[in-house]
Amino acid sequence: MSVNEVYVFRPFKLIALLCVFLALCLDIVALLSPAWVTADRFSLSLWEACTESEATIAYSRWSCNSTLTSDWQIATLVLLLSGAAVTLVAFLIALISLCRGTHRQHYRTVAVFLFTAVVLQACALVLYPIKFIDGAVLQTYHEFNWGYGLGWGATIFMLGGGILFCLRTDMYEDAMY
């Protein structure tokens, strides 16, 4: 590089890798979250439904049952776990590609994996409230809590990472400044 040449560094792929990492972290926390739906004396996660008994005011006892008996809850869990697994594979491919310097060869593959994960996650996150409200036995006010919101946050970061991996920054090597 001579004195008159200018190198423009565009960190889109590093930002994309960070987005995928954040999506993976949010996805794991959302999967392990105990609060997807909460109501008065009721809590529902992907793994169990808990209700509080009305024993006394001094102490309360929670009884929990597995949610893996309902088809739609199993389908939601499988879709979310599949999306998380695809995101993990995309993250590993992107990380190895960036570390080895084979940048452009694998970016399209990573983007396809991320868009696949977005579709899987979005299907699960749309299925969950529809089927919950359809078969809700709750007669009280309920709300979708932070675990559900983290699932949407992970999906948005996956989409952002996929879009950033699709950008072709090699076409703009000449600095126009």
For each of the domains in the chain, give its residue range(s) and CATH number, in order of start.
12-36+70-172 (1.20.140.150)
Residue 4 is given by DSSP the state T
Using a pLDDT cut of 90, give the percent of the chain over it: 39
The model's confidence at residue 98, banded by pLDDT at 50, 70 and 90, is: confident
Cα separations in angstroms, 114 against 31, 104, 147: 18, 16, 21
Q: How far apart are CA 18 and CA 149, in angstroms?
A: 20
- CB count within 10 Å of CB 161 equals 32
Residues in the chain: 177
The confidence score (pLDDT) of residue 69 equals 83
Contact between 4 and 163 under an 8 Å Cβ cutoff? The reply is: no
Tokens describing residue 153: 């946050």
Q: What is the mean pLDDT of residues 102-122?
A: 87
Has this prediction a pTM greater than 0.95?
no
Each residue's pLDDT tens digit, 158-171: 999 999 988 876 55
Cα separations in angstroms, 33 against 14, 43, 79, 90, 138: 28, 11, 16, 23, 20
The model's confidence at residue 173, banded by pLDDT at 50, 70 and 90, is: very low
Tokens describing residue 4: 């008159």
In sequence order, what are the beta bridge partners of 48?
Answer: 66
Residue 9 has pLDDT above 60, yes or no: no
The confidence score (pLDDT) of residue 170 equals 58
Amino acid 15 reads I
Q: How far apart are CA 104 and CA 79, in angstroms?
A: 29
